[in-house]
Amino acid sequence: MVGFDRRISVVVAVTLAGLAALGASAAVLDADRSQTGPVRCEIRDRIEGDTVFLEPLVHSDKDASGTYSVSVSGGGEGGSSNIQQGGDFSVAAGRTASLGRISVGAARASYDVKLRLKLDGTNVSCSRQVTGAF
């Protein structure tokens, strides 16, 4: 009886761990884009050769303006990066505005990218982990 109870406990623990991991994966997948509200953010990435190109974006259903900050930290085979940039932005209703472009090395690289928007007393943020070529 003790062996049977122990097996059930192990099965339950493994199942709960799997569900927790699945939930964490879903949260990470959704973290790259703010999905709610009239103003949303996105971090696009594209790999070309040995370079990762990053582009922070603002999508808006209304005319909006404010400030933004974007940070990129991490690195790979070519060294490490710690990039901070920001400024003012404005976007027209129904449009998407690019907040610039950033390029970093792709070789065996991993970067944490965070975008924060401040407008009309509201904060909108999104983050994304980007991996380069391995």
Dihedral sign for Cα 21, 117, 129, 33, please: positive
22 has a pLDDT exceeding 90: no
| Cα–Cα distance, 119 to 117 (Å, whole number) | 7
User: What pTM value is reported for the model?
Assistant: 0.73
The answer to whether 124 touches 34, Cβ cutoff 8 Å, is yes
pLDDT at position 36, please? 74
Gyration radius (Cα) of the chain, Å: 20
pLDDT digits (tens, 9 = 90+) for 47-80: 999 999 999 999 999 999 999 999 999 999 989 9
| Cα–Cα distance, 68 to 115 (Å, whole number) | 7
Task: Give ∠ CA 49-52-55 in degrees, rounded to 5.
Answer: 135
- b/e code 26-51 from CB counts within 10 Å (16+ = b): eeeeeebbbeeeebbbbbbbeeeeeb
Question: Please, which pLDDT band fits residue 11 given cuts at 50, 70 and 90?
Answer: very low
Looking at the structure, give the CATH architecture of the domain made up of residues 34-131: Sandwich (2.60)
Q: Which residues contact 11 (CB under 8 A, 6 or more apart)?
A: none
| Cα–Cα distance, 109 to 76 (Å, whole number) | 4
For the chain, give every domain's residue range. 1-30, 34-131
Cβ atoms within 10 Å of 7's Cβ, excluding its own: 10
